[in-house]
Structure 1
Amino acid sequence: MSDNLRDSRLHRRAARLARSQWGTALAATWGFAEAVSWPVLPEVALAGLCVADPKSGPRLSVAAAAGSVAGGLTSYALAERGVVPPCPLTTRRMHDTVATQTRDEGARAVRHQPLAGIPYKVYAVRAGQERVGAMSFAQASARARGTRIVTAGLALTAFGVAARSQRHRYGPYLLTTGTGFAAALTLIVRGWR
């Protein structure tokens, strides 16, 4: 069976998007939006795009990470001026934990974010409110947040290479990934109540 017959139409469209400038813009914008208010991680977009076109994975991963750090700096700047964007799917306990970490560690508090399950935007807002230093926060964010997004994107890229013969199952893969993300998000929010 030829590759085109085994490839799903959805996969082909996603791969075209991943290869285009629009795919890069989508990854960067998603990262930015999630760092300001959007409740869905940029890794969700990468899960679709990097698997669809693994050759684009490194570029998309870097774009998502850069967009995220830029969004974090935007949240920081807004909070520094007293404007707090909506932070959906966050809890009072998350905010209190980040307040304590930021008070104790300054900009370095964001290093807890990748494993804590607390959205990055909460760290960005608190850092701005505490005025920990935009440059310090950007550097700490690039190390913690940027590294995590790029690592996840590269892992998804590797998965896309390994699953190349399963392109005809791309639709079920997206459904499973979306369901898994929704379940994980629900557990995280419940765990922080």
Structure 2
Amino acid sequence: MAGIKVLRSLKDWTLSFAQSPRGTWALFFLALAEASFFPIPPDVLLIALCLAAPKRSLYFALICTSGSVLGGLVGYALGAFFMETIGRPVLVFYGLTDKFDLVSRYFHQYDAWAVGVAGFTPLPYKLFTISAGAFRIDLLTFFLASTISRAGRFFLIAGSIFFFGEMVKHFIERYFNLLTVVFIGLLILGFVVIKWLL
């Protein structure tokens, strides 16, 4: 319960930037941080910004993708150069150290494209970015997989608001609180999948 309360507090803090003139910068840095160490997915702020300015939705998706891909490279660097001092403590904090060897098998089987799956789904992206660096996965393939998966995820969200306009906007506005709870639930489910089922 304490963990859920912390996540909700972080979610509320994240959403506070939606009404701020610094909202775009906040989106960029949130996406960057989430790919390497922060728990709240940037989708929450991305949706809020897109709802406030639907015609700028694709721009927000580009900002979010750029931050997330850069954050993935930060996660990669943490695993490659600072695994013991920073990378491993991040994994310990999220209770993911016991899945480190398992992820290594995924990388050996699917190379950096394992990152592509994690980048599009609620699985903890930071586990894959840090692990990719630790296992020295090919950096170009890692970059391409990150870009494709993160762009696919964020442009799908923003594009639905941009192209379907008021219909999607009214739906999301009406169920925004429910959708943010679902995002948090998917986040927690991602950690559960990594921790227990894989």
Common fold: TM-score over 0.5:
yes
> Which residue of structure 2 aligns with residue 86 of structure 1?
90
**Normalised TM-score (structure 1):** 0.75
Which whole-Å CA distance do the structure 2 matches of 1:81 and 1:44 have between them? 31
* 1:22-171 matches, cutoff 5 A: 22-83=22-83, 84=87, 86-87=90-91, 89=94, 91=96, 94-114=99-119, 117-158=122-163, 161-162=166-167, 166=170, 170=173
Aligned CA distance change for structure 1 residues 127 and 190 (closer, same or farther; 3 Å): closer
Sort the Cα spacing of 1:100 and 1:107 in 2 relative to 1 into closer, same or farther, 3 A: same
Which runs of no fewer than 5 residues in structure 2 stay unpaired? 1-15
Secondary structure, counterpart of 1:36 in structure 2: coil
Where structure 1 has 5 or more consecutive residues not aligned to the other structure, the ranges are: 1-12
RCO higher in structure (CA 8 A, sep ≥6) = 1
Q: Which residue of 1 aligns with 2:5?
A: none
The alpha-carbon deviation at position 81 of structure 1 amounts to: 0.7
For the 8 Å contact 1:94–1:118, the answer to whether it is kept is no
Structure 1 residue 61, shift from structure 2 partner:
0.7
**Partner residue of 1:3?**
none
Counterpart secondary structure, 2:40: coil
How many matched pairs? 175
What SS is found at the alignment partner of 2:38? coil
Q: Tell me how large the CA RMSD over aligned residues is.
A: 2.9
Q: Determine the C-alpha separation between the residues in 2 that align with 1:16 and 1:53.
A: 11
* Cα distance, 1:148–1:188 mapped onto 2, change above 3 Å: same
Instruction: Identify if the C-alpha distance between structure 1 residues 14 and 73 changes in structure 2 by more than 3 Å, giving closer, same or farther.
Output: closer
Identity in percent: 27
Distance 1:36 1:51, change over 3 A: same
Letter in 1 for 2:136: R
Q: Provide the rounded CA distance (Å) in 1 between the counterparts of 2:168 and 2:180.
A: 18
Structure with greater Cα Rg: 1
TM-score (norm 2): 0.74
Is the 1:46–1:156 contact (alpha carbons within 8 Å) kept by the matching residues of 2? no
